[in-house]
Structure 1
Amino acid sequence: MSSAPFRDLNALTPGGDGTFQAHIDPIWTIGPKVHGGSMMSLCAAAARARLVDDGGAGDLARVQPLAVGANYLAAPDPGEVTLSTTVRKRGKQVSFVDVELRQGDRVAVHASVTLGVPDAGEPHYSVDHALAQLPVEPPADAVILTPDHPMGQIVHVAQGCDMRVDGTSAHFLAGNQGEPEVRMWVRPRADDENDPDTAALFAIMTGDISAPVTMNRGMFGWAPTVQLTTYLRRQPAPGWLRVMASSTVLGSAWFEEDHTVLDSTGAIVVQSRQLAMIPR
């Protein structure tokens, strides 16, 4: 396997007129279909590439996708995809780019990407998040998602990065039920982590990395994401990312799932919320 599988995922070939070609490897799937967070990172990469290609205003070396709002119209298979971009605004501090990810003639994702320079330094105000109580590095009893693990056989994304699950939160792994909250640790491969642009895109992807929290309530099966909005708050520091996925309302048809991601320094680097469908 490549030493930088996530960088490979986000490798774009310009096609002219603001379009890019990309290839999605089968490891970036959940079951047979492409992982939603991986498609979001591709849309973010295309938006940034378009801005860089056009020589937009501002310090492009530091510009990253700050917010990505994605609507999922179809579930594509791994393979070739086309990304079409439209610049809505180039600003000194904030720019906006629309992206459509297509496979063949079918649009799979429509995303609006806000680009700018992420926060750095000490915040004016912050509140300690419960996720900060999770050890910075996964302990020995964390569940390692290997390709042979029952969950790893479905979450193929674990083949492209290191994923460990807090077994005390993932009750479904032991056949039990509990609160709709799952905690885990995720880390990109070394060559992906060492590339700042890839590390930022990887952090965005982790805003959709957890198995559906509905599984903790005994509801298994595909929980398709309909809309997902992710914020990149700052550039992640090297090391493990701590992730918490949770929900407050599991309705009869719909549920929301929030992700919070902390880096090794304890800083919040990603926040996301998605609207998804209850598994049937």
Structure 2
Amino acid sequence: MAEAATVPASPAAIGDSEFDRDTAVTRREPGVYDIDLSAGWTIISAVNGGYLLAVLGRALADTLPHPDPFSITAHYLTASRPGPAVVRTETVRTGRTLSTGQASLFQYDDEGNEVERIRVLASYGDLAALPDDVRTTATPPPIPPLQRCFGPEDGPAPIDGSNAIADRLMIKLDPATTGWALGTPSGKGEMRAWFGLADGRDADPLSLLLAVDALPPTAFELGLKGWVPTVELTVHVRQRPAPGPLRISITTRNLAGGFLEEDAEVWDSADRLVAQSRQLARVRLG
């Protein structure tokens, strides 16, 4: 079992945290939602892809008759910026146990043209209605106790505005995957960490969409630097997470032609695999 993490004296509740407020969408009309993308979830000037996926996931949860994302695939078309955006959703199919929908997020460019930033296709269901039968060979990642792991506060002070999202997360990296921060990357393409929201809010299916894309990229441990933009991201949510910190393991096995894959597993405090993901990302070589 995972050990308890240090949380604020009065942790935020699900539905009443900064994450919930910043992913909240306002329904303008059926299938059309407005949101002001928060600058608090940026790295440099780019809005984090997991945060954006959670925004679209929340809009689809309002559109579809089922509450929880089971599988959601996003294609990141252009970089999103903090500020106003519109989400348009469409119901593709509804059934007894699953419903399928698609959604796109749009913003305006500097010339006033509407630009599609992300397009997703997702299947939703009810995680609470799933049977308890679990047969797996997967095991939780070997991460040292939280107190022996390292967070952003243990490194040098960041450049102002360079990583606003770090202030909203509780990330404690496995020391075995922090060689990049010391100038000695392992070359293994691995990243492991304890994860939570900084205000103590427990995880739910929507925040799992953020969690799979919140750690430093595995490219850092391969000795590469700079932005690693996501091209495509697919997330499978398997169970509702138990209260407490999550453990995330991300691996890359193949970098070729300037692209790499990242396979993520998310484990809850009850040692259950609650989410999996794979993304294709572009890296800067040389």
The counterpart of 1:183, out of the listed 160, 184, 192, is: 192
- Equivalent position of 2:237 in the other structure: 232
After TM superposition, give the deviation of residue 134 of structure 1 in Å.
2.1
Deviations 1:148-173 (A, max 9, x none): 64499644222122111112212101
Matched AA of 1:243: I
Deviation per CA, 1:74-97: give whole Å up to 9, x if none.
Answer: 111111111000000111100011
Matching of residue 143 in structure 1 with residue 150 in structure 2: yes
Match of 2:179 among 163, 171, 184: 171
Once the two structures are superposed, the pairs formed by residues 16-35 of structure 1 within 5 Å of their partners are 16-35=29-48
What is the identity, as a one-letter code, of the residue corresponding to 1:112? L
Greater shift in the superposed pair: 16-25 or 68-77 = 16-25
CA distance in 2, matches of 1:152, 1:68: 33
Q: CA deviation at 1:192?
A: 3.4
Residues 6-45 of structure 1: matches in 2 within 5 Å?
6-45=19-58
| TM-fit CA distance, 1:279 | 1.9
Moved more, 9-18 or 224-233: 9-18
Q: Residues 149 and 129 of structure 1: is their aligned pair in 2 closer, same or farther, counting only changes over 3 Å?
A: farther
Q: 2:96 pairs with 92, 95, 107, which one? A: 92
Give aligned-pair identity as a percent: 25
Distance 1:151 1:263, change over 3 A: farther
* AA of the residue aligned to 2:101: V
Residue 251 of structure 2 corresponds to which residue in structure 1?
246
Whole-angstrom CA distance in 2 between matches of 1:253 and 1:33: 20
Match of 1:127 in 2: 137
1:275 is matched with: 280
Paired AA for residue 45 in structure 2 = P
Structure 1, residues 19-67: CA drift from partner, whole Å, max 9, x if none?
111122111112211000111111111101112xxxx3xxx4xx30111
The residue matched to 2:61 in structure 1 has which SS?
Answer: helix
Q: CA 1:152/1:237 → structure 2, altered by over 3 Å: closer, same or farther?
A: farther
Superposition misfits of 4+ residues, deviation over 6 angstroms: none
The 1-side partners of 2:281 and 2:33 are apart by: 28
1:67 aligns with 2:78: no
Structure 1 residues 162-204: Cα deviation after superposition (integer angstroms, max 9, x where no partner): 11111221210111021100111111255632xxxx7221112
Instruction: Compute the RMSD of aligned alpha carbons.
Output: 2.2
Asked whether the 8 Å contact 2:40–2:168 carries over to 1, the reply is yes
Q: Which amino acid aligns with 1:138?
A: L
TM-score between the two structures when normalised by the length of structure 1: 0.87
C-alpha distance in structure 1 between counterparts of 2:117 and 2:140, whole Å: 35
SS in 2 for 1:168: helix
Structure 1 gaps of 5+ residues are none
Out of 213, 220, 223, the position equivalent to 2:225 is 220
Structure 2 gap segments, 5+ residues each: 1-10, 109-113
The residue number in structure 1 matching 2:204 is 199
CA distance in 2, matches of 1:5, 1:159: 11
SS at match of 2:260: strand
Structure 1 pair 22/28, CA: closer, same or farther in 2 (3 Å)? same
Cα distance between partner residues in 2 of 1:114 and 1:76: 24
Q: Paired residue for 1:76?
A: 80
Contact persistence 1:152–1:158 (CA under 8 A): no
**1:23–1:78 CA contact under 8 A, matched in 2:** yes
Which range moved further: 268-277 or 166-175?
A: 166-175
How many residues align structurally? Answer: 263
Amino acid at match of 1:5: E
Distance 2:201 2:177 in 1: 28
Amino acid at match of 2:182: A
